[in-house]
Amino acid sequence: MGRWLKSRANVPLVLALLGILILGAVLTRGRANASPPADPTPTPTPMRYGSGFFLPDGRSGMMQWAEQGGPPQNVYIASAEDVEQTIIELTNQRRAEHGLPPLKVCSLLTTSARGHSQDMSTMDSPWHTGSDGSTPCERMKAAGYDYDYCGENIAWGFTSPEAAMDFWYNETPPDDWHRRNLLNPDYREFGVGYYYTTERYRHYYTQDFGRRDDVYPVVIEREAAETATRQVSLYLYGTGWASEMMISNSADFSGADWEPFSADKQWTLACDNGLKTVYAKIRNSYGTVRGPVSDTITLAASDLYHLAVSNSTVTFLYGQDTGQLIPSELRLTVSNTGVGCSLPWTAEGAVENGDWLTITPSSGDNGSTLTVQASGFDTTTVSVHHGVITLTASIASNSPLTVPVQVFVTEHVYQTFLPVVTKTY
């Protein structure tokens, strides 16, 4: 690979000079085999912190290190996956702040990162070299990731993922190697691994970064774990290569068409709460296709079913001089603005006097149309007739929903028509 920026042979000398412990950092998306206790008991043992980097050109080093005396800060962590997800989201947040595309989480890199975080827990001095002598890129290869570009950040001892991220990100140039990994525009994918143990430094973090030249990932909402709405933002790699793209909520791309390529795309997820998958593929001007690729996000909306209608009121005008009703009928679209799929509803009309209101059909589902007609009302006197349409859906949070209906009887209905203007070239 490349040369070591700071070799391990230099570590004892630095330690002797400064009398403090080496900090190291590693980035991956991982899972620990054990989670921290819900309310860990402080220990008087000094807490050791470390951070290390491994760059795509093979350089690596330990940039900063320290030892804090006294009891470590109590930590409350629900699960190792939560720690990993926090680092994932913070990484892409930082990249967005610098105008960089989000990285796609890759399960192969996650496996590599998790494995190394666990391996570091067995080392007296955590480092990028595995206990079997492996390098970061060799571990990624062993996990099945056929990389064209790779790098790694590691950290240990930090009692929260935010603290590890702050340490990596807040480095000052020129000694900002972890930050360079975080903000490297040449990466496309990464994995995060966290491992917890009750011994030594307790908390171990790894980030493994990579790029496969023939893989162009799609990323939903910068790899957020959840969304409360069906409308999401996508980022699709392929700028400079692709001329067209195809996106779908179905693996078979049924109903999808090729469209001009755009790295940023607003998209609507499939309905109903749960894990949602978006599929994408791209092709260039020569017809070469890359993909399909996919990404997932959990749709977790609080409002599954919410009745909505295209018109909040229905108004008719009747002219006695012409005997004409304007409009002759009105059509309303009944829909669900929640994230649920099916929303069966029923409709019923009621009026103050007579039986002049007709609505068809009397029932339907999400997205269907309701036709409203008015006939048989008293037209002999100038007056206003009132009615109401009641829409009912037992599973909707706002059911029943009412729509007022009015018929104005007047001597004459004045209509204004705007002229049509054309221009000949």
Domain ranges within the chain, ordered by starting residue: 80-211, 218-299, 307-410
Q: Residue 223 corresponds to which tokens in the numbers above? A: 């790899």
Q: Is 161 helix (H, G, I), strand (E, B) or coil?
A: helix
Q: Is the pLDDT of residue 52 over 70?
A: no
Q: Is the pLDDT of residue 7 over 90?
A: no
| Residue with the larger pLDDT of the pair 24 and 168 | 168
Question: Range with the lowest mean pLDDT among 14-23, 105-114, 169-178, 214-223?
Answer: 14-23
Given this model, what pLDDT does residue 353 score?
Answer: 86
Beta carbons of 152 and 53 less than 8 angstroms apart: yes
Strands (E), 59-217: 60-68, 104-105, 149-156, 189-196, 203-211
Given this model, what pLDDT does residue 180 score?
Answer: 94
Q: Is the pLDDT of residue 20 over 50?
A: no
**Would you identify the CATH topology of the domain 80-211?**
Pathogenesis-related Protein p14a (3.40.33)
The number of angstroms, rounded, from the C-alpha of 133 to the middle of its chain's C-alpha atoms is 37
Q: Is 14 helix (H, G, I), strand (E, B) or coil?
A: helix
Q: Is the pLDDT of residue 99 over 80?
A: yes
β-bridge partners, 152: 208
- pLDDT (average), residues 84-92: 97
- The confidence band for 198, taking pLDDT boundaries of 50, 70 and 90, is confident
| Residue with the larger pLDDT of the pair 64 and 79 | 79
218-299 and 307-410 share one CATH topology?
yes
Share of residues in the chain with pLDDT > 90 (%):
71
- Which CATH number is correct for 218-299, 3.40.1160.10, 3.90.79.10, 2.60.40.10, 3.10.450.50? 2.60.40.10
Given this model, what pLDDT does residue 54 score?
Answer: 60
Given this model, what pLDDT does residue 31 score?
Answer: 32
- pLDDT (average), residues 311-318: 94
Beta carbons of 53 and 65 less than 8 angstroms apart: no
Rounded CA-CA distance 112/116 in Å is 6
- The confidence band for 55, taking pLDDT boundaries of 50, 70 and 90, is low
Hey, what long-range contacts does 177-180 have (CB within 8 A, 24 or more apart)?
177/5, 177/53, 177/55, 177/59, 177/61, 177/63, 178/25, 178/27, 178/51, 178/53, 178/63, 178/153, 180/53, 180/55
Given this model, what pLDDT does residue 98 score?
Answer: 97
Rounded CA-CA distance 197/218 in Å is 35
Given this model, what pLDDT does residue 419 score?
Answer: 75
Given this model, what pLDDT does residue 173 score?
Answer: 87
Q: Is the pLDDT of residue 76 over 90?
A: no
Given this model, what pLDDT does residue 25 score?
Answer: 34
Given this model, what pLDDT does residue 60 score?
Answer: 57
- pLDDT (average), residues 63-79: 48
Q: Cα dihedral angle (58, 91, 20, 112), rounded to 10 degrees?
A: -50
For strand 149-156 and strand 47-54, is the pairing parallel, antiparallel, or unpaired? antiparallel
- pLDDT (average), residues 303-309: 93
Question: Range with the lowest mean pLDDT among 64-68, 108-112, 116-120, 226-230?
Answer: 64-68
Given this model, what pLDDT does residue 59 score?
Answer: 62
Mean pLDDT over each residue of the chain, to the nearest integer: 84
Given this model, what pLDDT does residue 16 score?
Answer: 28
What pTM did the predictor assign? 0.75
Sign of the dihedral through C-alpha 77, 83, 169, 12 = positive
Question: Range with the lowest mean pLDDT among 3-12, 204-213, 339-348, 359-368?
Answer: 3-12
Question: Range with the lowest mean pLDDT among 185-194, 239-248, 388-397, 409-418?
Answer: 409-418
Share of residues in the chain with pLDDT > 70 (%):
80
Given this model, what pLDDT does residue 49 score?
Answer: 56
**Would you identify the CATH topology of the domain 307-410?**
Immunoglobulin-like (2.60.40)
